[in-house]
Homo-oligomer: A and B are copies of this chain.
């Protein structure tokens, strides 16, 4: 049983099926792929995007294909994570060695490509052409945003506006698509589908902000990867942006006094971000997006699905990993 969804038994049960579909869809006689797939989809992931898709499907006529589409989105998510890890040189993912550390970069790039191919296979088979196109567009946008993010590494020019644009493209759009596809493929009304799309977007923004916050505030053991990973890689995220704005001593500001910066002592930066209210600052933004999501949810037809979405949104804000 997926522990994240334990208070949502119907979704948790469907996600068991989704996990099996993922395993089946990605099965391969190639031992490297087989090992990679079983390591990546080991049942420890939250399956957040698939779960949201399934909740959204309840606003229309939920069908078997929703399970396939839920699998499709998780596979896409995992493919982008593998490629991220390859290029970030991140050693751990969910507490276990990242794919490229297990298989080498060569095979990790290819396992990612393999997963993309499986994702598009499922999309071609089970969505409308319009939603397959949406999926393609989403991936284009995620790539463009990752490239933009790379250009901003170790650059002092990062600011709130750029940060929000970045997390929209690399994260919130996928949540948004999950809710949109869930609703539209269930033939929910156009108005409901649009509301679901906006709900997903706001949940996704809050989710990514919390993720970035946990990289500064979290317990490394619970988060499953080392703290301060972002800043070590030169990525400036919201807690640091907020801390710089609140910094009265000038220590953090001096860090950004040149067009580009180096990170000699990441622990010092983590400490300064914590001391200068970076955590609280980031959390307040997560609350803003959470509240926006809750306002959208309030527009949806009342019932079990709406209650689930509301509860999920609040749970995600409070998570510590």
Contact = CB atoms under 8 A, between A and B. Distances in A.
A87 B147 CA distance: 18
Contacts of A86: 105, 109
A33 to B, nearest CB: 6
Among A104, A118, A147, A150: residue with most chain B CB under 10 A: A147
Interface residues of A, number: 43
A140 B121 CA distance: 9
A110 interface: yes
A117 B143 contact: yes
B106 A87 contact: yes
A274 B108 CA distance: 35
A116 interface: yes
B140 A107 contact: no
B143 A110 contact: yes
A4 interface: no
A114 B123 CA distance: 17
A275 interface: no
A143 B87 contact: no
Contacts of A105: 86-87
Interface string A124-135: 110001001101
Contact of A125 (B112, B116, B123, B129): B129
A140 B114 contact: yes
A83 interface: yes
Given A33-B147, A116-B113, A151-B32, A129 B124 contact: yes
A320 interface: no
A248 interface: no
B143 A113 contact: yes
A111 interface: yes
A205 interface: no
Given A120-B136, A121-B136, A125-B129, A83 B143 contact: no
